[in-house]
């Protein structure tokens, strides 16, 4: 046995050595490329003295490309090279631009009888797969980019459908050192030879090794172990809408992120318009945002929480399920339309009406809420003209009959006011000659509209409304009752108004994720009046008129702020990826839809994990956002996160939450059964003890999931246990994972909202190794500590 082990070790060492040699060669080549890039930079900066715009543009384009290249090569990739495939001869012998054979099928004579009843084959091509493509000095492929077509067989090949692949190898490396290799034979029936010697095979279970690894608070890429059904999604054509379903842990988030990297690789020019990844929570953003940089992609992908999609607004607070259900419903569209118009006549803090004669100097305006003016008195041709409340109201209603955004209707309102004043002045009748009448009218308009009282009147009568201001106006129960009549029930209107009172009269104050969607809707209803744009002076812009041209020093110094600025300004993306799509409310679908009007989409979700109680309403809004684009649906079926023992417990909840829905099948089992425990009188002490126990049992992270209104308390209970453990409200756990989790009081989580059972299903599916279910008072646990919700 010992002799056999030693033999295995020596094959392993030799194969590690083979890959080490290759990696050394790759690094030598990378160094040459880095020198080349540095030379280009130097050369460009020497040419910096040349002052013509054309030369500057040429120089900067060169610097830009070289800088990009250098950046990517210098990035610290933990496993730059991670895969290898050994292939049979291709059918037609044609090679692609990366130097690899293009044919997926082997040549007819690639496999031959060996004379002993078996079959033999010669390895005709070996490809190494890595994070970026690297060619040697003769343009032969040293490393193939994982997204290139030639790399697809690394992910797609299976023993059932091997194509040309004989051996698939995962290479584990750190920095410049190869640590290990793991092989899978795709054609075990063949005796294959490479350079005259039999093809060696080392180890098993590269995927299992990846799955068993301790988790940190940052998601890792899965580039070395993407599975065939996942690869199909990642490389699906982007012409339309790609919909991806699948239970917890099937890799939906991972696949969505790898797809973003793939799309950029495929068509960088097209996706220069930006890719937006929408996540449900800032926690999930923080967890996933390192994945794309680890794949060498930064800058063109914006990962945003749905509560951070609107400039100047950031969700920092939560709504109760009742309020969330109202704010998220598509009925809010009607309410907001009325509010956006109604707010024109609502009293506003800090604004003031001019006195009835319109002559009040505005600096004396009182600071408290003021009603809009009810009359306008002007002086023209030496006499007073007045528009009374009824006349003003008729004008307002005539203007509001249009469909333009409310703030953009003001010029028309101004025009109609002037028309009325002119008619009332009777001046038209005094000028029978049309030409003279037109001249007089022009003078009249100029006289009146340049008077300070007139502008002050307009500001008060048709003020520029802000989304926050309208939301604040909706906090007035009386007004909201009017604006929501026949749309919301009186009880709902009261709840909504009360929730908005936290905003304060000027609209400042903490927002929820649902408020942010309302603000965006209001932004569209109100519009932003055109103003002269202030532009930051960039001297070279003025010289050449080209945005892209700056000096290298400028570019390096301002790169960060510039990207930030571009991201801030961007509201229309080339591709939109929605993660945890089942959670978007109808109002959030509208918000996200506005950012992808011309986009292709990837929509990833699992209805069984939805915390939104009205799926039909959300479905309609989703259809509206995605429009009539053709859709392609994929389903992922294998759970890579939870061991079978945990998946089984979660499946019991799924059966009640979504009867008939199939759970994904767990890919591994650990033999570790979930632990059930009953909390003592001091719930906090019990939770802390369970968390401590798990910290001792796993190397990585521990998540403690509690009902939303226990979040604050739970953080206190865990104080001082270190940063491997975190406390989470049930809704915050979405999409995250931990080595071990404590789910505190399933009944409390399930009772929290109409979608509570599905939220509990989410909580129970977060652990990669160990799960503890801690029952509280409401759980009616049996003698073994199993809560009633988890008993057969
Ligand atoms: N092919 C793979 N190789 C290695 N790890 C994988 C693979 N696919 C998924 N995983 C791992 O499985 C875990 C679950 O993946 P992910 O979070 O993407 O699943 P999900 O379907 O989005 O789950 P949920 O619906 O619960 O949010 C992650 O740790 C991910 O890295």
Flag whether pLDDT at 353 surpasses 50.
Answer: no
Per-residue buried b or exposed e for 736-752, using 16+ beta carbons within 10 Å of the residue's own CB: bbbbbbbbbbbbbbbeb
Phi, psi of 376 (to 5 degrees): -130, 125
Q: Are strands 725-729 and 702-706 parallel, antiparallel or unpaired?
A: parallel
Distance 87 CA to ligand 1 centre (A): 29
Per-residue buried b or exposed e for 552-588, using 16+ beta carbons within 10 Å of the residue's own CB: beebeeeeeeeeeeeeeeeeebbbbbbbbbbbbbbbb
87, 126 Cβ separation under 8 angstroms? yes
Mean of per-residue pLDDT scores for the chain:
84
Ligand 1 contact via 210 beta carbon (within 6 Å): yes
- Nearest ligand 1 atom, CA 247: 25
What is the average per-residue pLDDT within 750-758?
A: 93
- Nearest ligand 1 atom, CA 246: 21
Question: pLDDT at position 531, please?
Answer: 60
Question: pLDDT at position 235, please?
Answer: 93
Question: For residue 378, with 0-12 CB atoms within 10 Å meaning exposed, 13-18 middle and 19 or more buried, which class applies?
Answer: buried
Q: What is the ipTM of this complex?
A: 0.99
Question: pLDDT at position 206, please?
Answer: 62
Ligand 1 contact via 686 beta carbon (within 6 Å): no
Query: Residue 274 annotated as binding?
Result: no
Mutate to test the pocket of ligand 1, among 210, 227, 251 (most ligand atoms within 8 A of CB): 251
- Nearest ligand 1 atom, CA 606: 25
pLDDT tens for 388-405 read 989 999 999 999 988 889
472, 505 Cβ separation under 8 angstroms? yes
**Secondary element (H or E) of residue 688:** helix 683-697
Flag whether pLDDT at 411 surpasses 70.
Answer: yes
What is the average per-residue pLDDT within 152-165?
A: 89
Question: pLDDT at position 507, please?
Answer: 86
Dmax of the chain from CA atoms?
A: 118
Flag whether pLDDT at 101 surpasses 90.
Answer: no
Distance 695 CA to ligand 1 centre (A): 22
> Out of 117-131, 199-213, 309-323, 335-349, which region has the weakest mean confidence (pLDDT)?
199-213
Question: pLDDT at position 7, please?
Answer: 63
Residue whose tokens read 């009607």? 334
Cα-based distances in Å from 300 to 293, 442, 633: 11, 51, 26
Residues 6+ apart with CB under 8 A from 284: 253, 305, 579, 580, 734, 735, 736
Mutate to test the pocket of ligand 1, among 277, 578, 640, 658 (most ligand atoms within 8 A of CB): 640
DSSP readout, 288-322?
Answer: HTTHHHHTT--SSEEEEEGGG-STT--EEE---HH
* Atom 9 of ligand 1, residue of closest alpha carbon: 251
Of residues 217 and 537, the one with the higher pLDDT is: 217
Distance 255 CA to ligand 1 centre (A): 8
Distance 104 CA to ligand 1 centre (A): 28
Q: Are strands 383-387 and 376-380 parallel, antiparallel or unpaired?
A: antiparallel
Question: pLDDT at position 215, please?
Answer: 78
Flag whether pLDDT at 242 surpasses 90.
Answer: yes
Question: For residue 349, with 0-12 CB atoms within 10 Å meaning exposed, 13-18 middle and 19 or more buried, which class applies?
Answer: middle
Query: Residue 160 annotated as binding?
Result: no
Number of H helices, E strands in the chain: 28, 27
Output the six-digit token pair for 225: 């172990």
130, 146 Cβ separation under 8 angstroms? yes
Ligand 1 contact via 319 beta carbon (within 6 Å): no
Ligand 1 contact via 582 beta carbon (within 6 Å): no
Question: pLDDT at position 186, please?
Answer: 87
Rounded (10°) CA dihedral 62, 65, 67, 70 = -120
114, 191 Cβ separation under 8 angstroms? yes
Ligand 1 contact via 251 beta carbon (within 6 Å): yes
Ligand 1 contact via 610 beta carbon (within 6 Å): no
786, 229 Cβ separation under 8 angstroms? no
Flag whether pLDDT at 717 surpasses 60.
Answer: yes
What is the average per-residue pLDDT within 16-28?
A: 91
- Nearest ligand 1 atom, CA 256: 18
Distance 734 CA to ligand 1 centre (A): 13
pLDDT tens for 419-461 read 999 988 887 777 778 888 888 889 889 988 888 888 889 988 9
Query: Residue 246 annotated as binding?
Result: yes
Q: Quickly state the pLDDT bin for 342 (edges 50, 70, 90).
A: very high
Ligand 1 contact via 223 beta carbon (within 6 Å): no
Of residues 413 and 537, the one with the higher pLDDT is: 413
Of 70-79, 566-575, 610-619, 748-757, which has the strongest mean pLDDT?
Answer: 748-757
Flag whether pLDDT at 569 surpasses 80.
Answer: no
Distance 278 CA to ligand 1 centre (A): 17
Query: Residue 250 annotated as binding?
Result: yes
Question: For residue 494, with 0-12 CB atoms within 10 Å meaning exposed, 13-18 middle and 19 or more buried, which class applies?
Answer: middle
Ligand 1 contact via 187 beta carbon (within 6 Å): no
Calpha distance 44→57 (Å, rounded): 11
Q: Quickly state the pLDDT bin for 361 (edges 50, 70, 90).
A: very low
Question: pLDDT at position 10, please?
Answer: 81
CA 387 to chain centre: 52
Flag whether pLDDT at 65 surpasses 70.
Answer: no
Mapped to the 3 state alphabet, what secondary structure does 561-605 carry? Answer: HHHHHHHHHCCCCCEEEECCHHHCCHHHHHHHHHCCCCCEEEEEC
Using DSSP's 3-state secondary structure scheme, residue 526 falls into helix
DSSP readout, 210-238?
Answer: HHHSPP-SSPPP-TTT--HHHHHHHTS--
Ligand 1 contact via 253 beta carbon (within 6 Å): yes
Cα-based distances in Å from 375 to 118, 359, 370, 372: 101, 12, 14, 9
Ligand 1 contact via 476 beta carbon (within 6 Å): no
Using DSSP's 3-state secondary structure scheme, residue 246 falls into strand
The rounded percent of the chain whose pLDDT value lies above 90 is 52
CA 261 to chain centre: 14
Question: pLDDT at position 158, please?
Answer: 84
Ligand 1 contact via 474 beta carbon (within 6 Å): no
Angle CA 213–215–218, to nearest 5: 130
Distance 256 CA to ligand 1 centre (A): 10
Question: pLDDT at position 680, please?
Answer: 93
- Nearest ligand 1 atom, CA 225: 3
Residue whose tokens read 């199909």? 232
* Atom 1 of ligand 1, residue of closest alpha carbon: 226
Distance 612 CA to ligand 1 centre (A): 23
Query: Residue 253 annotated as binding?
Result: yes
Distance 649 CA to ligand 1 centre (A): 19
Residues 6+ apart with CB under 8 A from 89: 101, 106, 107, 109, 110, 122, 124, 125, 164
Q: Quickly state the pLDDT bin for 349 (edges 50, 70, 90).
A: low
Residues 6+ apart with CB under 8 A from 277: 256, 257, 260, 288, 301, 302, 303, 304, 577, 579
Ligand 1 contact via 257 beta carbon (within 6 Å): no
Flag whether pLDDT at 357 surpasses 50.
Answer: no
Calpha distance 705→690 (Å, rounded): 12
Distance 692 CA to ligand 1 centre (A): 26
Calpha distance 378→681 (Å, rounded): 76
- Among residues 307, 338, 314, the alpha carbon closest in space to that of 493 is found at 338
599, 570 Cβ separation under 8 angstroms? no
Flag whether pLDDT at 352 surpasses 70.
Answer: no
Ligand 1 contact via 250 beta carbon (within 6 Å): yes
pLDDT tens for 473-529 read 999 999 999 999 999 999 999 999 999 999 988 888 999 999 999 999 999 999 987
Question: For residue 689, with 0-12 CB atoms within 10 Å meaning exposed, 13-18 middle and 19 or more buried, which class applies?
Answer: middle
**Could you tell me the pTM of the whole model?**
0.83
**Secondary element (H or E) of residue 792:** none
Using DSSP's 3-state secondary structure scheme, residue 56 falls into helix
- Among residues 668, 755, 680, 745, the alpha carbon closest in space to that of 225 is found at 668
Ligand 1 contact via 83 beta carbon (within 6 Å): no
Query: Residue 252 annotated as binding?
Result: yes
pLDDT tens for 550-562 read 223 333 333 334 4
Calpha distance 419→387 (Å, rounded): 11
Count of CB atoms situated within 10 Å of the CB of 149 = 16
Ligand 1 contact via 233 beta carbon (within 6 Å): no
Query: Residue 729 annotated as binding?
Result: no
Distance 639 CA to ligand 1 centre (A): 8
Distance 631 CA to ligand 1 centre (A): 23
Using DSSP's 3-state secondary structure scheme, residue 137 falls into coil
Query: Residue 424 annotated as binding?
Result: no
Ligand 1 contact via 737 beta carbon (within 6 Å): yes
Calpha distance 309→516 (Å, rounded): 8
Distance 532 CA to ligand 1 centre (A): 48
Calpha distance 702→725 (Å, rounded): 5
Count of CB atoms situated within 10 Å of the CB of 720 = 5
Establish how many alpha carbons lie within 13 A of residue 776's alpha carbon, considering only the half-sphere containing its beta carbon.
Answer: 19
Flag whether pLDDT at 730 surpasses 90.
Answer: yes
* Atom 8 of ligand 1, residue of closest alpha carbon: 251
Ligand 1 contact via 605 beta carbon (within 6 Å): no
* Atom 25 of ligand 1, residue of closest alpha carbon: 248
Phi, psi of 231 (to 5 degrees): -60, -35
Q: Are strands 190-194 and 119-122 parallel, antiparallel or unpaired?
A: parallel
**Secondary element (H or E) of residue 120:** strand 119-122
């Amino acid at each position: 046995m010992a002799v056999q082990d030693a033999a295995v070790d020596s094959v392993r060492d030799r194969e590690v050595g083979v890959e080490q040699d290759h990696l050394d060669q790759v690094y030598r080549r990378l160094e040459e490329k880095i020198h080349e890039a540095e030379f280009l930079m130097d050369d460009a900066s020497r040419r910096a003295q040349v002052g013509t715009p054309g030369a500057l543009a040429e120089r900067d384009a060169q610097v830009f490309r070289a800088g990009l290249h250098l950046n990517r090569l210098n990035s610290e990739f933990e496993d730059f090279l991670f895969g290898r495939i050994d292939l049979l001869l291709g059918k037609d012998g044609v090679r692609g631009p990366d130097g690899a054979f293009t044919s997926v099928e082997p040549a007819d004579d690639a496999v031959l009888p060996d004379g002993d009843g078996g079959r033999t084959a010669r390895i005709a091509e070996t490809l190494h797969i890595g994070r970026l493509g690297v060619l040697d000095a003769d343009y032969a492929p040293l490393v193939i980019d994982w997204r290139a077509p030639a790399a697809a067989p690394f992910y797609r090949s299976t023993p059932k459908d091997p194509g040309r692949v004989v051996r698939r190898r995962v290479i584990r490396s750190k920095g410049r050192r190869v640590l290990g290799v793991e092989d899978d034979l795709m054609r075990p029936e063949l005796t294959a030879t490479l350079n005259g010697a039999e093809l060696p095979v080392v180890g098993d279970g590269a995927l299992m090794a990846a799955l068993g690894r301790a988790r940190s608070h940052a998601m890792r890429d899965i580039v070395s172990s993407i599975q065939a059904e996942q690869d199909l999604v990642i490389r699906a054509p982007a012409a339309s809408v790609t919909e991806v379903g699948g239970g917890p842990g099937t890799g939906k988030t991972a696949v969505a992120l790898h797809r973003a990297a793939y799309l950029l690789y495929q068509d960088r020019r097209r996706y220069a318009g930006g890719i937006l990844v929408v996540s449900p929570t800032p926690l999930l953003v923080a967890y996933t945002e390192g994945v794309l940089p680890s794949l060498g992609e930064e800058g063109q992908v914006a990962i945003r929480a749905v509560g951070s999609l609107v400039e100047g607004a950031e969700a920092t607070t939560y709504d109760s399920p009742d309020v969330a259900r109202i704010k998220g419903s598509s009925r809010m569209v009607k309410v907001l339309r009325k509010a956006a118009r109604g707010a024109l006549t609502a009293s506003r803090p800090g604004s003031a009406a001019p006195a009835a004669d319109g002559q009040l100097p505005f600096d004396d305006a009182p600071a408290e809420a003021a009603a809009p003016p009810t009359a306008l008195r002007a002086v023209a041709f030496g006499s007073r003209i007045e528009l009374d409340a009824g006349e003003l109201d008729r004008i307002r209603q005539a203007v509001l009959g249009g469909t333009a955004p409310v703030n953009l209707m003001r010029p028309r309102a101004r025009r109609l006011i002037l028309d009325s004043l002119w008619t009332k002045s009777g001046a038209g009748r005094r000028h029978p000659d049309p030409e003279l009448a037109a001249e007089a009218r022009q003078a009249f308009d100029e006289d009146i509209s340049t008077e300070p009282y007139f502008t002050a009147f307009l500001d008060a009568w048709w003020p520029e409304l802000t989304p926050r201001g309208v939301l604040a106006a909706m906090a007035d129960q009386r007004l909201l009752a009017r604006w929501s009549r026949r749309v919301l029930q009186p009880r709902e209107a009261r709840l909504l108004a009360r929730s908005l009172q936290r905003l304060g009269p000027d609209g400042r104050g903490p927002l929820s994720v649902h408020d942010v969607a309302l603000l965006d809707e209001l932004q569209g209803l109100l519009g932003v009046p055109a103003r002269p744009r202030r532009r930051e002076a960039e001297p070279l812009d003025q010289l050449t008129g080209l945005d892209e041209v700056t000096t290298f020093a400028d570019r390096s110094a301002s790169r960060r702020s510039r990207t930030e600025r571009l991201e801030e300004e961007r509201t229309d993306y080339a591709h939109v990826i929605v993660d945890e799509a089942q959670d978007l409310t109808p109002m959030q679908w509208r918000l996200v839809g506005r950012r992808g009007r011309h986009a292709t989409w990837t929509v990833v979700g699992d209805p069984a994990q939805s915390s939104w109680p009205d799926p039909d309403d959300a479905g309609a809004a989703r259809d509206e956002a995605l429009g009539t684009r053709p859709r392609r649906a994929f389903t992922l079926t294998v759970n890579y996160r939870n061991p079978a023992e945990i998946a089984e417990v979660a499946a019991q909840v799924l059966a009640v939450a979504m009867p008939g829905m199939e759970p994904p099948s767990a890919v591994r089992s650990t033999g570790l059964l979930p632990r059930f425990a009953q909390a003592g009188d001091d719930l906090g002490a019990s939770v802390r003890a369970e968390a401590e126990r798990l910290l001792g049992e796993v190397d990585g992270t521990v998540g403690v999931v509690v009902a939303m209104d226990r979040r604050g308390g739970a953080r206190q209970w865990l104080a001082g246990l270190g940063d491997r453990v975190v406390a989470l409200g049930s809704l915050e756990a979405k999409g995250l994972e931990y080595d071990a989790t404590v789910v505190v009081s399933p009944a409390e989580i399930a009772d929290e909202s109409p979608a509570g059972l599905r939220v509990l299903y989410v909580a129970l599916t977060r652990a990669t190794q160990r799960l503890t279910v801690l029952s509280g008072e409401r759980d009616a646990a049996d003698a073994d500590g199993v809560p009633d919700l988890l008993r057969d």
